[in-house]
Amino acid sequence: MNIIKIGREYLAGKWGWVAAILALQLAQIIFSLFLPSINAAIIDDGILKKDIPTIWRLGGAMLGLTALQLICSVIAVIVSSRLSLDFGRRLRRDIFHHVQSFSETDRHKFGASTLITRTTNDTNQVQMVIMMTFTVIVTAPIMGIGGIIMAVRQNARLSLLLLIIVPVLAILVVTVMSKLAPLHASQQQRIDRTSGILRESLTGVRVIRAFNQQKRQSERFAEANETLRATTLKIGTLWSLLMPASSLIIGVSSAAIVWYGGHLIDKGSMEVGSLTAFISYLMMILGAVMMSGMMMMMLPRAAVSAARLQEVRETIPSIASPAKPLPLPAAPRSFVLDNAMIRFQDAEKPVLDNLNVRLSPHTTTAIVGSTGSGKSSLARLFPRLIDPAEGGVYIENTSTSERVDIRDLDLHELRQHIAFIPQTSFLFTGTIASNVAGKVTHGGENAERVQRALEIAQAWEFVSKLDDGIHAPVESGGKNFSGGQRQRLAIARALYRCLPDEDGKPKADLVIFDDSFSALDFTTDAALRAALRENLGDVTVLIVASRIATVRDADSIIVLDEGRVVGNASHEELMESCQTYQEIVQSQFSAEEVGA
């Protein structure tokens, strides 16, 4: 069972604390079981016989046992709470880090909304069951069995009623549990769907408003919310039926015990104190059955949650570091595509085929092509955001021609040497400095290096005017900045890694602009490209763009058409030899501008 597997794994090394909890719970239950017997002795030997010293002596013993029971119970709850919270913290941490290693394909397999739900809600369900295991599952059977033994000691004939009462209550609990299990599985799936629609609505709120789709989105959310409500209502209805039904059984049982016990007292076969103790033990027994029932209702949902968590944990990332990674070739480094082919799963034909590209140090290479020609897919090969179906992607020492396939390198080390600016710029909650430098602590970044990156990215003009400068706050997603400002800040984040660090060397060998100039005006675009040429030294630049004005000064321009490279030369050479490039240029410039 997945929940047992997860519990065993995350409680490993904590068995001493588990043993302590079990010992404390056992002690407090034993103390609880003796209390009704002492109370019976006080009634029979003290009150009825008017023996004051006995009342004081047994009352003191009862008070002492109650204090010990309370101490053991409080300590057990504190320790179990800390243990379960630590369990949940480590499980959430590991799920989060594992999801971070997923490729885009892996993430799409699950979906963002369900990964969020699994990391939070499902983890909480399993954590709660772990805590309840120490506080309820452990105590319920011991209390139930102990209560039966002590009840039989009080009066064996009266105890025969337990053969009817306990099975009836157990059947009720098991019946409700069998109905709840499939409902809990359905509930988690509907939470995923509701979260997904809510996430879409919040992320795409501008598009929804622009196309006047508020009503449709409201209807979609209302439908998902209604199905979740209906399932939750069924669960609540079963729960609400269980409680009064259980109370009815307990009430009838108590009445039967008092009625039959009264007859035994009248015949002299039983003492008044013994009947009082027997009723207390009956409540303990039925309470144990009820607690077991509560756990049985929690276990199905937790089991579903554990299975969902285990599905994520057992998913092997499709892109990962090898078991024994090779060292990175020495600098200067070139990035090479050798007969690489990109084919997505279940696709009839490759997106790109027969890719042979070399990105050399201190050069700027551009990729152009029609929409959907695979420009971004080609760029994503170098940082291993996707892997080629055939052929290879290599890093080569320019001097010695030593070549290593990037699939043989440590993934973290590879990406440390590549700065990537995606099509959609995204900023994290924090400050401008923390976003650019990638430091989460205030003041942990190199302020001069941050400013230099901002200057090259043409962002210093507006950052310098902010009250807090580079320490100005950034909201989630950078929503407090315009699209062009977010774009320049995202570019500065990549350029920060391309500038010399404390050792005087840049961390990145390659910087990739994946259509990152689209939100910039022509003046800023030109100024940024000029600054790149002046400041990046031996860093290789790869630009994916749709505007010819952005790429015409590149050392080499790769032209893609229908999944193949149809041109790879300078702007002037392509204007003479590549028809596809000529058509792209003519679609963006007038005849006079083309001639110029």
Range of lowest pLDDT (12-16, 353-357, 374-378, 518-522): 518-522
Token digits of residue 555: 């050392």
312: nearest Cα among 161, 588, 96, 140: 96
Q: What was the pLDDT predicted at 535?
A: 86
CA distance 98 to 91: 10
Residues 6+ apart with CB under 8 A from 459: 485, 488, 489, 491, 492
Write out pLDDT tens, residues 417-426. 999 998 888 8
Query: How does 281-295 read in b/e, with b if 16+ C-beta sit within 10 Å?
Result: bbebbbbbbbbbbbb
CA 532, CA 457: separation in Å to the nearest integer? 8
Read off the pLDDT of residues 391-416 as tens digits, 9 standing for 90 and up.
999 999 988 888 999 999 999 999 99
Has residue 596 got a pLDDT over 50? no
Q: What is residue 418's predicted lDDT score, i.e. its pLDDT?
A: 92
Residue 595 has pLDDT above 70, yes or no: no
Residue 573, pLDDT above cutoff 80: yes
Q: Closest Cα to residue 43, out of 27, 54, 33, 32?
A: 54
Range(s) for CATH 1.20.1560.10 in the chain? 2-313
Region for residue 170 given its phi and psi (left: phi exceeds 0; alpha: psi -120 to 50; beta: otherwise): alpha
- Which pLDDT value is given to residue 236? 83
CA distance from start to end of the chain: 72
Q: Check residues 166 and 435 and name the one with the higher pLDDT.
A: 435
Strand partners, 326: 409
User: Which stretch of 177-186, 317-326, 515-524, 542-551 has the lowest confidence by average pLDDT?
Assistant: 177-186
Q: Determine the pLDDT at residue 445.
A: 61
In this predicted structure, the answer to whether residue 440 has a pLDDT above a threshold of 60 is: no
pLDDT greater than 80 at residue 343: yes
**Under 8 Å between Cβ of 355 and 391:** yes
What was the pLDDT predicted at 592? 44
For residues 176 and 242, the answer to whether their CB atoms sit within 8 Å is yes
Checking if the pLDDT of 57 tops 70, the result is yes
Is the previous residue joined to 332 through a cis bond, with omega within 30 degrees of 0? Answer: yes
CB-based contacts of 223: which residues, under 8 Å, 6+ apart? none
CA distance 526 to 282: 85
Check whether 469 has a pLDDT greater than 80.
yes
pLDDT of residue 591: 46
Element counts in the chain: helices (H) and strands (E): 23, 12
- 140-161 pLDDT, tens digit per residue, is 888 888 888 888 888 888 888 8
- Average pLDDT in the 282-308 region? 79
Residue 452 and residue 499 in contact, taking contact as beta carbons nearer than 8 Å: yes
- Residues 198-257 pLDDT 10s: 878 877 887 888 888 888 888 888 998 899 999 889 888 887 787 788 778 878 888 888
Please, where in the chain does CATH 3.40.50.300 lie?
Answer: 425-508
What pLDDT score does 409 carry? Answer: 93
> Which of the listed CATH numbers 3.30.40.10, 1.10.357.10, 2.20.25.90, 1.20.1560.10 matches domain 2-313?
1.20.1560.10
Q: Which pair of structure tokens corresponds to residue 585?
A: 């240029």
**pLDDT higher than threshold 70 for residue 297:** no
Given a cut of 60, whether residue 390 has pLDDT beyond it is yes
Collect contacts of 441-450 with beta carbons under 8 A, ≥24 apart.
442/471, 446/501, 446/502, 449/496, 449/499, 449/501, 450/492, 450/496
Q: Looking at residues 94-101, what average pLDDT do you find?
A: 91
| Per-residue pLDDT reduced to its tens digit, 244-291 | 887 788 788 888 888 888 888 877 777 888 888 888 888 888 888 777
In angstroms, the CA 593 to CA 575 distance is 13
pLDDT > 90 in the chain, percent? 25
What superfamily would CATH give domain 425-508? P-loop containing nucleotide triphosphate hydrolases (3.40.50.300)
Phi-psi region of 372 (alpha: psi -120 to 50; beta: other; left: phi over 0): left
Q: What pLDDT does residue 203 have?
A: 75
- pLDDT computed for residue 590 by the predictor: 57
Q: Which two tokens stand for residue 390?
A: 């055939």
pLDDT at 439 (0 to 100): 64
Which two structure tokens, joined as six digits, stand for 270? Answer: 């039983």
